[in-house]
Structure 1
């Protein structure tokens, strides 16, 4: 399986007569955040981490738009620079990278607890005897990032994302209305739109 590649360029290294042996505090903090995110939020996702001294390799991130250490790239795209890393930004970038490389397998509903369309979609699949995984995008931030990473390339960035978002046998089908058509479930009026 392909991995998401994280590169950290921290303040340190050498260039000509200049040498920095101790990375800045924000660079050290960023490295600690990356390690923790890889252990927790990204557990189960194949990820590699490469740490570079910015002063020694300053031109590598510069060509990608990174100039202020700490600089974090995911799959050679700058996602953050110049301060202590926001762990949500890293988590989202890595999960989106993973979604581009690893197709979804099986039956999945991405929804939220207070969505009547989501609950009915779960009921329809249960009544049809279709095993599925339910992901609450409010309670599980990783599920939100995965849903967005999988659905935005399909529907486009200008289309608002509602819930539920449903995949059957690894194929995107859409939302509750499309699921009802596929399994021929009765239409039950609802007051919300997910």
Structure 2
């Protein structure tokens, strides 16, 4: 089975591609919804996995455009947030859990279940990436640039658990749920507390 994987997080895409190919899938990765539409319309892929928040064109807009153009192959949404299922064949919650993902993909084509290990090199690469993101968060908090700050928090929420950093993902999830209720004058204090918690999540 040929899979098209649309995801703007390069390390998450590398992890998916590595694990999917071990299971016998062929995978092409694209980094935004516009490229996903272009590649999907080549009809070389049996199934499209689509992240929702991507640059250039988001996943919902890409799916809607494909459906308008008559594309009838399976499209699976991937999101850390709740997503309407209309137009998608399936909605998967991020971070992706491989046992669940294998079970869901088996509905489209049977693939034997295999227990997969996270490659050390990829885990170390993500750890370094996460450290950089936390440093960026510290700078953005000082600038009170909350739009970019929360965009990175969302990214951590959707990817950290896939690289054995579930506590970091849980912290990001908790902050995202609370953020809209935090008064503007208390956001710097809450962001500082979040960053202190992050440093305890095996990031040293």
| TM-score scaled by length of structure 2 | 0.26
What's the TM-score once normalised by structure 1's chain length? 0.27
More strand by share: 1
Instruction: Give the helix-richer structure, 1 or 2.
Output: 2
